[in-house]
Structure 1
């Protein structure tokens, strides 16, 4: 016991306590446990949202490509749509067609590009976009009589798709989505062709995966990503798979340049020829009750008709 100095009326008693409350519920341990529970719950919801966002985009790509959601190939590096793959959970490219990537290659005026000079201008824009995404060494452009031919091919260092798969690489996706908005500003239609090398698939069944199905699915995937970038559906005239029958390097059937996707920006005349070739057949004129024939309609035959029907010079003068 201690006495207060200068005080005569009593002693000061100091009592030390163990610091424990009579009731544990007055402590703060439960608050820490509740905070941990809320944090774990928030992490769970975040993971579920990330997985749902990724599956939604892959389903949209598959639907735009015209492929079934469970489409896969019997080759290396294949997977089903929606299956997990290493890498970023959410792609950086937005799904919205009105994305800011459209600013990479829009033409100023909506028109039909039909002259070599106009097509060459579009070629330069495509190559600029290719350089921006790091694929300038993968792009070959050429102005032909049919239109602008844009070839995006593999190299020894990198490819446009995973081996034996129709899943494009992130660089190829960025290229396609930046090229897509260009077709919002022009009236030209597009032919998309997929090509593979001569490496065959292991299965030989008629319904097994083959270079035909692989090239077709790659062309459809290119169409899907261009549409997600902003290309209207009306811009696509034809989507075809060529397998390995038209190699870019015939001397080396398995060369990387043979694995490619070609975009043909057609002229008006070539688009009309494609429509006539695969469109409605002309009205048939029966030669006999048992035989049907369809008149050919080509520029050469039209000129021949004009020459035959044109009166010879001086024929009118000789007429009585």
Structure 2
């Protein structure tokens, strides 16, 4: 057969249209679900209280080993071998348990101070003499710890006028607080405050500076006489009228007060490093931040504890 007689064969490629499948739908559904969950979490956080947010932050900032062992288990070993780690009956193993116990959540620390505050309130309420001083006690749980302020009043002054002589009910109150303070591991500071009424000689002679320091020291002596552990006392200071109470005039008798702070471990160590106790919260945070920066341990996301 000649070339001219050969049949012409035309080959056409058959195109079969296939369905794209549903994999993209699954990916889109996953993305939308994640996006909805994100917005839900953001909405819940926006309506949550500060305490709830702090508890969430505490949960995620707690080391896994401490969380699994509740912060106090001898089996909290970093060894990959089951049963590995230090023997808790030995000194090194015991130290490990102490270190883990110290890594508690801030919420646990707050509960500790709340319980301590309730104990003090009950002790005051159970004493018929001290019960009359209940309205002169101020409690605050701050980053430093539990702050107890015993404020003055014209009817029941804590000290004799212009003197560091402790009144009988103030003496009784300090002796009631001392055994409770001895039962907890927190170290303490004492500071004395006065109102702005000056002495006749001004600040060059005996002034509110000396008076506030003398009153703080007189309170220290009463507590020592009542059996206070001397190792718990970090600092005794007098700040005169420089830190008035919020919402009152500088010459108000309420400014005449003694402030006792039971410190957290972090706050106590900070005082030991700095050598003094910052009275202002902003100053405290600034100094903590500065200290962390000097040690190279600070990041913008790091919470101040």
TM-score scaled by structure 2? Answer: 0.54
How far off is 1:250 after superposition? 5.8
Q: CA deviation at 1:128?
A: 2.2
Residue 138 of structure 1 deviates from its aligned partner by: 0.8
Give the corresponding residue for 1:129.
123
1:166, 1:214 within 8 Å by CA — same for their partners in 2? yes
**Shift, 1:204, TM fit:** 3.1
Q: Which runs of 5 or more structure 2 residues have no equivalent in the other structure?
A: 1-100, 277-288
Please state how far the C-alpha of 1:155 moved relative to its aligned partner. 2.0
Structure number with greater CO (CA < 8 Å, separation at least 6) is 1
Structure-2 residue corresponding to 1:255 = 252
Q: Secondary structure at the match of 1:298?
A: helix
Question: How many angstroms apart in 2 are the aligned matches of 1:116 and 1:128?
Answer: 18
Contact 1:148–1:266 (CA under 8 A) maintained in structure 2? yes
Q: Confirm or deny: 8 A CA contact 1:249 1:258 kept in the other structure.
A: no
Cα offsets for 1:93-146 (capped at 9, x unmatched): xxxxxxxxxxxxxxxxxx989700001111112222333223111101011111
1:193 aligned residue: 191
User: 1:44-83 CA deviation, whole Å, 9 max, x = no partner?
Assistant: xxxxxxxxxxxxxxxxxxxxxxxxxxxxxxxxxxxxxxxx
Superposed CA offset, 1:175-198 (max 9, x none): 001111123222211010100000
* 1-structure distance, mates of 2:264, 2:139: 15
Q: Deviations over 1:135-174 (max 9, x none)?
A: 1111010111110000000124211111101011100000
Aligned Cα root-mean-square deviation (Å): 2.6
Aligned CA distance change for structure 1 residues 297 and 142 (closer, same or farther; 3 Å): closer
Q: TM-score, normalised by structure 1?
A: 0.52
Indicate conservation of the 8 Å contact 1:249/1:257, yes or no: no
Map of 1:229 onto structure 2: 226
| Cα offset, 1:251, TM superposition | 4.7
How far 1:229 moved relative to its partner?
1.2
Q: Work out which of the two has the higher radius of gyration on C-alpha atoms and give 1 or 2.
A: 1
Residue aligning to 2:110: 116
What residue number does 1:180 align with? 178
The change in CA–CA distance for 1:127 and 1:297 in structure 2 (over 3 A counts) is: same
Structure 1 gap ranges (5+): 1-110, 280-295, 308-320
CA separation in 1, counterparts of 2:298 and 2:150?
A: 41
Sort the Cα spacing of 1:115 and 1:199 in 2 relative to 1 into closer, same or farther, 3 A.
same
Aligned to 1:284: none
Whole-Å separation in 1 of the counterparts to 2:297 and 2:273: 18
Q: Does the alignment pair 1:166 with 2:164? A: yes
> 4+ residue runs of structure 1 moved beyond 4 angstroms?
111-114, 304-307
2: distance between equivalents of 1:303 and 1:275? 19
Match for residue 210 of structure 1?
207
The count of corresponding residues between Structure 1 and Structure 2 is: 180
Q: 1:304 to 1:266 in 2, by over 3 A?
A: closer
Match of 1:298 in 2: 291
Name the structure 2 match of 1:270. Answer: 267
> Residue 253 and residue 306 in structure 1: after superposition, are their counterparts in 2 closer, same or farther (change >3 A)?
closer
Check whether the contact 1:147–1:266 (CA below 8 A) recurs between aligned residues. Answer: yes
- Does the CA contact (< 8 Å) of 1:189 and 1:236 recur in 2? yes
Inter-CA distance 185–248: structure 2 relative to 1 (3 Å threshold): same
By percentage of residues, which structure has more helix? 2
CA apart distance, 1:299: 2.3
Distance 1:306 1:218, change over 3 A: closer
